[in-house]
Amino acid sequence: MSEFHNIGLIGRTGSDSAVLSLKRLMAFLEREGYAVVLEQGTAGAVSDHSARVAPKDKLGELCDLVIVVGGDGSLLAAARALAKFSVPLLGINRGRLGFLTDITPDEIEQKVGEVLAGKYMAESRFLLDMSVTRDGKPIGKGSALNDVVIHPGEFIRMIEFDLYIDGQFVYTQRSDGLIVSTPTGSTAYALSGGGPIMHPKLDAIVLVPLNPHTLSSRPIVVEGSSEFKIVVSEHNTANPHVTCDGHDQLITGPGDIVRIHKKPHRLTLIHPLDHNFYETCRTKLGWAE
């Protein structure tokens, strides 16, 4: 008997192909006797259904498993909303790259069926919490599965900041910004910025400078329990922006403090049994066979 009974569905509603896959998945789950709960925004894209509808954050309370039909961005958004509920996520790829959403649309019945029958592997991924304070008062916060990035915003201007790790001063840097990335995010923006590929099981965080104004500045890998403090310099001509997974953008000012640390709640990511991280790298990153 399956350990999953109530299945939440989140779809990339702006994509016709994702909606088609979503309908196919719904039909399969209902045929197999599972209770389907549609995320509120997703439900608007699916006509003629009798499924229960709930806001995204409620899926964590109602469901044993949430399936995301879309790209990695869709799964990142679901992870940020649902990590605190410990509900596992499974991804069906209807995006471009698909590092996190690893079931292809033509495998829906076979692979989802195997997962529901207990034939799957579970991976634990950690997220980051970010907060910004001004004169000791909080002005905003966010969370990220991939990365927290400080950058100049809409203007191409160098920014300056001080970096502290676990209370120890590291450097004052002038650059286009800094990427603070989890192992999950190491194959995303951090990789484009020249950072290392990190295996998802690593308990580590990488800091990747963006176009630093010194040739000696290189990515730094530190333990996952590290706490980071970034102090925005008084000398900036632009107000640095902070984003979490490319969302939750906050605009900082001189003297603001950005704090980043591991989130207490972890994400459980479900994969089919034949999932292989290195094969994913070969396929998605174009490595030579």
Cite the active site residues: 72
| Percent of the chain as helix, strand, coil, to the nearest 5 | 25, 40, 35
State the Cα–Cα distance between residues 88 and 66, nearest whole angstrom: 6
Query: Measured between alpha carbons, how far is residue 28 from residues 10, 97, 113, 172 in Å?
Result: 15, 25, 9, 55
Q: Are 16 and 45 in contact (CB under 8 A)?
A: no
**Which residue has 């003297």 as its token pair?**
255
Residue 120 counted as an annotated binding residue: no
Residue 47 counted as an annotated binding residue: no
Residue 35 counted as an annotated binding residue: no
State the Cα–Cα distance between residues 155 and 237, nearest whole angstrom: 10
Q: Are 10 and 74 in contact (CB under 8 A)?
A: yes
Residue 147 counted as an annotated binding residue: yes
Residue 191 counted as an annotated binding residue: yes
Q: Are 279 and 272 in contact (CB under 8 A)?
A: no
State the Cα–Cα distance between residues 101 and 229, nearest whole angstrom: 32
Residue 211 counted as an annotated binding residue: no
Residue 72 counted as an annotated binding residue: yes
Q: Where are the alpha helices (DSSP H) in the chain?
A: 16-31, 40-43, 56-62, 72-82, 113-116, 189-192, 277-285
Residue 176 counted as an annotated binding residue: yes
Q: Which neighbouring-strand residues pair with 169?
A: 164
Residue 285 counted as an annotated binding residue: no
Residue 73 counted as an annotated binding residue: yes
Query: Per the annotation, where are the binding residues?
Result: 72-73, 146-147, 157, 174, 176, 187-192
Would you list which residues are annotated within the binding site for NAD(+)?
Answer: 72-73, 146-147, 157, 174, 176, 187-192
